[in-house]
Amino acid sequence: MPDVAGDPAALERLRVQRNRLADRIRPPWWYLPGAAIAWAAAFSGPFTLRYLPRVDYWATGLAQLAVWCLLQWGLTRVTGVKVGPRPLRVLRDGLFYYRPGRPALIAILVVSLAAGEIEFLLLRQGLFAAAVVVAVVAVATEVALQRAWLREIRQDLRNGGGAA
Amino acid sequence: MTDDVTAKPDPLIHPITRLSICGLLAAGADWVEFAALRDAAGISDSVLSKQSRVLEEAGYVEVRKGAVGRRPRTWFRLSAEGRRAVQGHLAWLAQLEQAVTAGTREVQQARPVTGDRNQPRRVPPPLLGST
């Protein structure tokens, strides 16, 4: 029977197919600029709080979340593969239930919390320029980490690392 | 894969097309669209439709149908039962691969010096890459 995986060559064939699937997960041209805009909105939060108190801080946070969801939706539509943590599963199983790309995702969260906190401290000290520099560096770092996150997901798909 | 997976063959996943579909769905993606799965597996639309229906009826694969604009789209993902079965089957295949590789190595090591007419026939090295 030619259609039977009776030999271990089936695994080699599966590796090739997984490579093909992983290769689909390449961000389109608008993905990283979109991510940069979303992160710029996030790291402008401390400035908004201090200098524009009339602007709703939580509204900008929600806008950032909406941009993030839009980016993920667009990526799914372009690639045909849904990757990354799903919002409902996150509520049920926690943020880190999704295994592929987990280290990069943790790094994204750590950088966002640390950079936000440093910005608050610098602005409280009146060091506006230093806070701007931190924000710019944080945006660049987050975009690079987001790229790394997709790369890790691709790698995990190749290895079947997300299988459990 | 987790350590509590029992390595055993699953006759439903055994045919290579179904193994491809399940193996791709188990790689780490949540939902995979019909065209993406078809292209990655290198199979035709009709084969994917037929085999995915078999897997869906067995409860191994969940199917979701939707549309983007006017274009219908079908998405697949492994069910929990399907994931367990695939992991067990892949673990069994990995054991098989190891056994074949080890067997080939033993035969190669036992090979006498070149020129001996009574030497066993040379066994080609395994084609599989080990991971």
List of chain A residues with pLDDT < 70: 1-8, 161-164
Taking only the tens place, the pLDDT of each residue in B33-79 is 999 999 999 999 999 999 999 999 999 999 999 877 778 889 999 99
Taking only the tens place, the pLDDT of each residue in A127-136 is 999 999 999 9
Angle (CA) B6-B9-B13 rounded to 5° is 115
For residue B129, pLDDT over 50 is answered with no
Burial class (CB in 10 A: 0-12, 13-18, 19+), A50: middle
Nearest partner of A161 among A105, A101, A106, judged by Cα: A101
Question: Listing from the earlier edge strand, what are the strands of the sheet with B71-78?
Answer: B32-33, B71-78, B61-68
The predicted pLDDT at position B108 comes to: 62
Q: Does B67 touch chain A (CB under 8 A)?
A: no
* pLDDT class of B120 with cuts at 50, 70, 90: low
The interface residues of chain A toward chain B in range 48-87, judged by CB-CB distance below 8 A, are 77, 79-84, 86
Is the distance from CB of A163 to CB of B27 less than 8 angstroms?
Answer: yes
Which SS3 state, helix, strand or coil, does residue B76 take? strand
Taking only the tens place, the pLDDT of each residue in B75-101 is 999 998 998 998 888 888 888 878 877
Instruction: Kindly list the residues from chain A whose CB atom is less than 8 angstroms away from the CB atom of residue B20.
Output: 13-14, 17
Nearest Cβ partner of B20 from A4, A17, A156? Answer: A17
- The DSSP symbol for B119 reads S
CA–CA separation, A163 and B32 (whole Å): 14
The predicted pLDDT at position A14 comes to: 87
Angle (CA) B98-A4-B1 rounded to 5° is 45
CA–CA separation, B26 and A5 (whole Å): 17
Q: Does ipTM come in above 0.90?
A: no
Q: Does B79 touch chain A (CB under 8 A)?
A: no
Q: Does A150 touch chain B (CB under 8 A)?
A: no
CA–CA separation, B61 and B75 (whole Å): 10
Q: Does A26 touch chain B (CB under 8 A)?
A: no
Q: Does B128 touch chain A (CB under 8 A)?
A: yes
Taking only the tens place, the pLDDT of each residue in B14-32 is 888 999 999 899 888 889 9
Q: Does B55 touch chain A (CB under 8 A)?
A: no
Taking only the tens place, the pLDDT of each residue in B105-114 is 666 665 555 5
The predicted pLDDT at position B111 comes to: 56
The predicted pLDDT at position B119 comes to: 53
What is the distance in angstroms between the Cα of A4 and the nearest Cα belonging to chain B? 4
The secondary structure of chain A, three-state, reads: CCCECCCCHHHHHHHHHHHHHHHCCCCCCCHHHHHHHHHHHHHCHHHHHHHCCCCCHHHHHHHHHHHHHHHHHHHHHHHCECCCCCHHHHHHHCCCCCCCCHHHHHHHHHHHHHHHHHHHHHHHCCCHHHHHHHHHHHHHHHHHHHHHHHHHHHHHHHHCCCCC
Instruction: Kindly list the residues from chain B whose CB atom is less than 8 angstroms away from the CB atom of residue A84.
Output: 30
